[in-house]
Amino acid sequence: MDRVRKSTNFYLGVVISVVLIITLIAAVATNNSTKTLSAGSPERVVQEFLQAVNGGRNDLADKLLASDSSCSIQDIDRAWRWPSAQVALLESKKTGNTAVVRVALQRDTNAIMETSSDEEFMYRLVKESNQWKISGIPWPLYDCGGIKK
- Each residue's pLDDT tens digit, 71-113: 999 999 988 888 778 889 999 999 999 999 999 988 665 555 5
pLDDT for 88 equals 92
**CA 118 to CA 43: how far, in whole Å?**
19
- For residue 13, what pLDDT band results from cuts at 50, 70 and 90? very low
pTM of the model: 0.70
Residue 78 makes CB contacts below 8 A (sequence gap 6+) with: 141, 147
